[in-house]
Amino acid sequence: MADVSVCGESGRRIRIEVFGYESDTPRDPLDVNWLRASVEVDMGPFHGATDATFQTHDFERFLSQLNGVMERKSHVAVFETMEEALSIRVETDRRGTATVSGTLRDIDIGASLSFMLISDPSFLQRTLGELRAVVSTFPDRSGNRFLKLSRLGLVLQPEDKDAALLLCRVNGSFALVHRPMTHGRGDIWMSFSPDLRDWGRHRPVLQARRGGWWDANKVGLSPPLIETTRGWLMLYHGVRQTASGSVYRRGAARLDLEQPDRCLLRSYKPIDSGDSELQNGPVGLEPTTDGL
């Protein structure tokens, strides 16, 4: 058993008590990291408590983000879960004062309690240590989940390629970056799924430009997205059709950290290209990103 609290002024706090894994021998590999827990929110005159289930990576992600806040690499840390029983957002100002807000939900009865408290670095440093203890006590057990595989079929309909999953869930859902072809154009889209089987909420993220741009015909993902404190870094390739064939170039884009289906910036010019002798001709060869 382990617990973690986010405390603030006047004794206000959010406390999560983790009892253990839901199952010692789960049948479904996707269930190996579910944890049994209880949550208590004490806001002085207002109080709420409920049982909940979280996953190990919920705490790992919160630990990583809160560590970034304490090192002043970022000013926001978020605790999110697939079942949305608890959401916590920690946002600091220049002085280090933190505003902690969120919502506790009892899924069974449909009740919710929204809360806010003011915290400071001394409280958050203690929270950081308790998060490390939770992650150490209940580590990720998914190292052997791919020992047995079964083919379920196509994830998305053809023609679709250049796909990669984000390394963490977004508001409780898996996020897939991919490039479908529609009406001869190839744009980068993002889709979401609760279980890696059924995909929906398809949204365009980065569209191929029109005209004489270096990425005017097709764009596609290169390596998987890289999470940074300023957003998701996406390296992508663009294709422009010329009289001598397809010309491939590579660019970069930055997506919003909390809403990765929103593109904040993209390359005005290509950041590099493939070998000039290979990138031209009837079938151009795209630049690779080995080592990332």
Contact partners, residue 124, CB within 8 Å, separation at least 6: 6, 66, 69, 70, 90, 98
Look at the alpha carbons of 178, 180, 186, 187 in this order and tell me if their dihedral is positive or negative: negative
Question: What are the boundaries of each domain within the chain?
Answer: 2-141, 160-279
77 burial via Cβ count (<10 Å: 0-12, 13-18, 19+): buried
Class of domain 160-279: mainly beta
How would CATH label the architecture of 2-141?
Roll (2.30)
How many angstroms separate the Cα of 79 from the Cα of each of 60, 98, 106, 247, 292?
10, 15, 17, 43, 28
Q: Is residue 183 left, alpha or beta, with left meaning phi > 0 and alpha meaning psi from -120 to 50?
A: left
Could you read off the pLDDT of 136-190 as tens digits, one per residue? 999 988 765 555 566 777 788 778 888 999 988 888 889 999 999 887 788 999 9
What pLDDT score was predicted for residue 289? 58
Query: How confident is the model over 256-280, as pLDDT tens digits?
Result: 998 999 999 999 888 875 544 444 4
What's the pTM value of the predicted model, to 2 decimals? 0.54
Nearest CA among 64, 224, 78 for reference residue 140: 64
Q: Predicted confidence band at 282 (pLDDT cuts at 50, 70, 90)? A: very low
Cβ neighbours of residue 281 closer than 8 Å, sequence gap 6 or more:
244, 245
